[in-house]
Amino acid sequence: MAKLQDKIAVITGGTSGMALASAKLFVDEGAYVFITGRRQDQLDHATKEIGRNVTGVQADSANLGDLDRLFETVKKRKGHIDVLFASAGVGELDKPIGTITETSVDDTLNVNFRGTVFTVQKALPLFRDGGSIILNTSVANAMGFPGASVYAASKAAVRSFARTWTAELKDRKIRVNALSPGSIGDTGTFATIPDQVRNYLISQIPAGRLGLAREIAGAALFLASDDSSFVRGIELVVDGGMSQV
């Protein structure tokens, strides 16, 4: 049987990259998926690419009204949630201390911190007991990448949420785990990086290459499915060993 047969999943920021790959895999594994995106044209393209068992809802995770509309749509169409992948995130990687602006802090925290909090909180009334919440963090939360301090701090907070919410939701048997991608080469972030930067990153990865979005999707599927029934509060790092050695 498919790993997510008849499950209802919500994936925020699901119009591209790792989240879109996850949405496709979830559908292939039997789920019905709701995806969000800020731009309607990208959302339309993503839903067409997924092709079946999907609803796109235009929403900005930093906008609480948009989140209300998202979960009202889920409630009306399917009535409950089994899996939430809070994947929406932003961040500037070229802001060393001394160049950080108020706008860059606010924009990053509004989506990565505030957006994650309220995405999960507003989803909970629809959650079936025994479901799975996946929080998208980053290996940056544990590594000292120059220029990424605000982004990394926001992702460290997301990792902390997985621990606290695991304790808070244990009576409902809702699993909360963090998924921590490394350098994923077939995403927009890495599409235009200079060759010297790409080569440097590869030199730091024991696997000898950049990761693929489908590899993150496979990890997300593990955390979403019953395969991870005894897994709670972890940070599942998928980075080719970059942050581990």
Q: Cα(95)–Cα(146) distance, rounded to whole angstroms?
A: 8
* Percentage of the residues of the chain whose pLDDT score is greater than 90: 89
Residue 19 · residue 87 · CB < 8 Å: yes
pLDDT in tens, 1-45: 899 999 999 999 999 999 999 999 999 999 999 999 999 999 999
pLDDT band per the 50, 70, 90 thresholds, residue 74? very high
pLDDT in tens, 104-146: 999 999 999 999 999 999 999 999 999 999 999 999 999 988 9
Average pLDDT, the chain: 95
Write down all domains in the chain, each with its CATH number in brackets.
8-238 (3.40.50.720)
In the predicted structure, residue 101 carries a pLDDT above the cut 80? yes
**Collapsed DSSP state (helix, strand, coil) of residue 118:** helix
Beta bridge partners of 35: 11, 56
pLDDT of residue 176: 98
pLDDT of residue 93: 82
Interval 188-215 mean pLDDT: 88
In the predicted structure, residue 212 carries a pLDDT above the cut 80? yes
In the predicted structure, residue 192 carries a pLDDT above the cut 80? no
pLDDT of residue 189: 72
Length of the chain: 245
Burial class (CB in 10 A: 0-12, 13-18, 19+), 104: middle
pLDDT band per the 50, 70, 90 thresholds, residue 55? very high
In the predicted structure, residue 225 carries a pLDDT above the cut 80? yes
Please give the model's pTM, rounded to 2 decimal places.
0.96
pLDDT of residue 172: 98
**Six-digit token string for 216:** 């993150």
pLDDT in tens, 158-178: 999 999 999 999 999 999 999
Q: Which amino acid is at 199?
A: N
Q: Which amino acid is at 232?
A: R
Residues with catalytic function: 151
pLDDT of residue 92: 85
